[in-house]
Amino acid sequence: MPEVLGIGHITLTVSDVKRSAEFYNRVLDTQTVLDVEDEYGPFVVDASPSFVLGFRKHEATSQADVFAPSRVGLDHCGFHVADRGQLEAWEARLDEQGVSHSGVVEDPYGLHLSFKDPDNIALEFFCPPEQG
């Protein structure tokens, strides 16, 4: 089986690429590394040392459109963290940035801290349960 090193990047369709890039830069401390308009429309890329996010606005994307996890496509995007302490640090960061969130929620699958971006795209910080 060929090896996969992980997910290198995710590109999200959004209603305003600059607003989305600013949100992720502010909340996740990413940096905008590309801001262009190509044959498909506006495209911005934010990067961190561990992941890359792209934001694209297609011509057919309405400014009024918002994400719905019930439609075909993305349900949510999860960022894994090491432990509860890291989740609590992210919870404090979201509070500091004025981002509404679920608080740390524990279930049989692990610990979750859910929030949404400006287009209502569902995001979470996640820590799997300890094995053993």
Residue 123: what pLDDT? 95
Identify whether the C-beta of residue 93 lies closer than 8 Å to the C-beta of residue 27: yes
What is the per-residue pLDDT across 117-132, written as a single tens digit (0 to 9) for each?
A: 999 999 999 998 875 5
Among candidate residues 74, 85, 69, 89, the one with its CA nearest the CA of residue 28: 89
Identify the band that residue 5 occupies on the pLDDT scale cut at 50, 70 and 90. Answer: low
Whole-model pTM?
Answer: 0.86
Residue 6 has pLDDT above 80, yes or no: no
Q: How would you classify the pairing of strands 52-56 and 41-47? A: antiparallel
Q: How would you classify the pairing of strands 9-13 and 52-56? A: parallel
Measure the CA–CA gap between 44 and 5, rounded to whole angstroms.
24
Measure the CA–CA gap between 118 and 116, rounded to whole angstroms.
7
Residue 130: what pLDDT? 76
The tokens of 74 are what? 């993305």
Supply the Cα-derived Rg of the chain in whole angstroms. Answer: 16
What is the per-residue pLDDT across 15-65, written as a single tens digit (0 to 9) for each?
A: 999 999 999 999 999 999 999 998 889 999 999 999 999 999 998 888 888
Measure the CA–CA gap between 110 and 40, rounded to whole angstroms.
39
Measure the CA–CA gap between 112 and 122, rounded to whole angstroms.
12
Mean pLDDT of all residues in 82-97: 95
Mean pLDDT of all residues in 56-82: 88
Phi, psi of 72 (to 5 degrees): -60, 135
